[in-house]
Structure formats: structure tokens, C-alpha cells
Amino acid sequence: MFLIGFRGAGKSSIAKELAGQLGWTWIDLDTVLEAKYGRSIRAIFEQEGEQGFRDKERELLEQVAVRDAHVFATGGGIVLDPVNRDRMREAGWVVWITADTATLWQRLQSDPATGERRPPLTVGGRAEIEALLRIREPLYQQCADIVVDTVNRLPAEIASTIREKLSELNKRVEG
């Protein structure tokens, strides 16, 4: 199962919680990528540009997507590549984790990982979130089997909602 959505949506905390509830393994693709290349995402962006990072991200997804009983927390830009979108849709359920711009901005500002790990993508700040969401929302939408809002909700609640929605979907598919 793949959790997609913008930076700050809560993909990693929800992946961890959901995997715990399901007895599955969870993986944060950005963390695995940093370990694989021994550099922070920020450093990869600085040294090889965004395209260098996107190539590595695509290759990593190809390697891991086939694993069963895994919840993958993906990077916010993974949906930009049509190969990634097809791969996720073929390999498992895709869950779009959402929040409004103000909430995303607030979370990003208070997350210590932002400075160390998240390279600026364009102009930074709220304007960056608004501009990128205009481009990415249709792509998240295109990929997602279900959509789950996270505003004012805890990871445990959100994970339960995802499980309920997926069991409905599974019933429909099997039925």
C-alpha cells in the first residue's frame, strides 16, 4: 500500500501507525533512499539537481514496490512521474493523505526535518505549496483509490479510517 500526498500531510506517521495496526512493515522511501546513497535528500538535490533525485526515486520504487504486506510512505513528488503512478496503481492500493494549505505550511514549519532534509522546490513558503498543489492535486487524484483528510485527526484515527475504507474496497473488488 502506498501513501501519497504533499509534504507535511503526515504520510510517515500514518504509515507507521497503519503498519502497526495491520501487522505489516512500513518503509519511508526518502529514508531508504538517503541510506542507500549515504546522503541527505537535500544534498542529492544540491549535487545532482531535482532530476538526479527523481531518477533515484523511480529506481527505488521499482525495486521495492513488489513487496507484499508493506505500507510505503512516498515522497511528495513521486506522482510527477507517470511510470511511478502506473507502478503504484499496479502494485497495491494507493491512499492520498490530504490537508489544507495552511495546515501543511504550519506542519512543515514546525517539523525539524524540514531544514535538514527538505530542499526548497521553488520559491518556498506558502506560495510554493499553493503553486505545487495546483500541479500535483490532479496527479494525486488520478492515482488514489481512497482519499483521507488529516486535519485535526490523530494518526491512530486516520489509520482506522483507511482500514475501513480499504475493507469496503476489497469487498467491492471481491464481491
Cell numbers for 8: 507535511
C-alpha 148/C-alpha 21 separation (Å) is: 17
Looking at the Cβ atoms of 133 and 169, the one nearer to ligand S3P is 133
Q: How far is CA 86 from the centre of its chain?
A: 15
C-alpha 147/C-alpha 172 separation (Å) is: 17
Distance in Å, CB of 34 to ligand S3P, minimum: 10
Distance in Å, CB of 168 to ligand S3P, minimum: 27
Contacts with ligand S3P by CB under 6 A lie at: 7, 30, 41, 75-77, 118-119, 121
Q: How far is CA 57 from the centre of its chain?
A: 12
Distance in Å, CB of 122 to ligand S3P, minimum: 10
Looking at the Cβ atoms of 107 and 171, the one nearer to ligand S3P is 107
Distance in Å, CB of 9 to ligand S3P, minimum: 7
Looking at the Cβ atoms of 7 and 85, the one nearer to ligand S3P is 7
Determine the straight-line distance between the first and last CA of the chain, rounded to whole angstroms.
Answer: 21
